[in-house]
């Protein structure tokens, strides 16, 4: 698992406590609260504690997605081994003004390609609620297929699966 990735338009860098202000902004957006849930991160102290909890968990990886040129944080990509799933779960969340511009696809695709091509994870999952149409459309565009529905924490989640055979790129050694 890499600490950073880059594309022509984006840089992805591992989450640090320096990202507290951005995390406050992101986790308090209407979309985050509606589709991911309230995190009770209202100030710098909350954000630093939230980030430290993420960093301390070896099963959780978060990258801040920045616009390459401007160095502006616009979203996150997550890669998490959840207790209730058999494989790692990839996720994404972006500020509203940076959605529908291909950034989430571009950022998720590079992390997905790295994980699958390095044979670390033969299958990768993604979960969402059925009302999150934008996430579902992006998962399908990335090559995920609907697998099944589960109930977690009193909420029904759709589980999408991505197999290693779906994403092979040419690598030269």
Pairwise CA distance, residues 161 & 102, whole Å: 21
Residue 115 confidence (pLDDT):
85
Residue 118 confidence (pLDDT):
72
For the residues 23-34, what does the mean pLDDT come to? 97
Reported as a single tens digit per residue, the pLDDT across 33-62 is 999 999 999 999 999 999 999 999 999 999
Pairwise CA distance, residues 126 & 91, whole Å: 6
- Tokens representing 35 are 């589709």
Q: Domains (ranges, CATH) in the chain? A: 4-121 (3.40.630.30)
Residue 149 confidence (pLDDT):
96
Residue 170 confidence (pLDDT):
34
φ, ψ of residue 88 to 5 degrees: the values are: -65, 150
Q: Is 38 left (phi over 0), alpha (psi -120 to 50) or beta?
A: beta
- Give me the residue label for tokens 């509606």: 34
For the residues 3-17, what does the mean pLDDT come to? 96
Contact predicate 61/79, CB 8 Å: yes
Reported as a single tens digit per residue, the pLDDT across 62-115 is 999 999 999 999 999 999 999 999 999 999 999 999 999 999 999 999 999 888
DSSP H or E run through 77: strand 72-80
- Give me the residue label for tokens 């978060």: 62
Q: How confident is the model at residue 6 (pLDDT cuts 50, 70, 90)?
A: very high
Average pLDDT over the chain reads 91
Pairwise CA distance, residues 150 & 156, whole Å: 6
H-only helix segments in 43-97: 44-56
Residue 119 confidence (pLDDT):
65
């Amino acid at each position: 698992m890499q600490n950073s990735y880059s594309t022509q338009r984006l840089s992805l860098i591992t989450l640090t406590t320096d990202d507290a202000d951005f995390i406050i902004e992101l986790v308090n957006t209407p979309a985050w609260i509606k589709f991911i849930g309230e995190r009770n991160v209202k100030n710098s102290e909350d954000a630093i504690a939230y980030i430290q909890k993420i960093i301390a968990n070896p099963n959780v990886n978060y990258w801040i997605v920045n616009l390459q040129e401007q160095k502006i944080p616009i979203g996150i990509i997550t890669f998490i081994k959840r207790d209730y799933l058999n494989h790692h779960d990839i996720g994404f969340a972006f500020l509203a003004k940076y959605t529908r511009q291909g950034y989430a696809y571009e950022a998720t695709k590079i992390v997905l390609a790295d994980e699958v091509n390095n044979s670390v994870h033969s299958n990768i999952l993604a979960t969402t609620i059925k009302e999150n149409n934008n996430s579902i459309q992006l998962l399908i565009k990335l090559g995920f297929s609907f697998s099944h529905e589960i109930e977690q924490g009193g909420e029904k989640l759709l589980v999408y699966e991505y197999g290693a055979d779906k994403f092979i790129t040419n690598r030269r050694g």
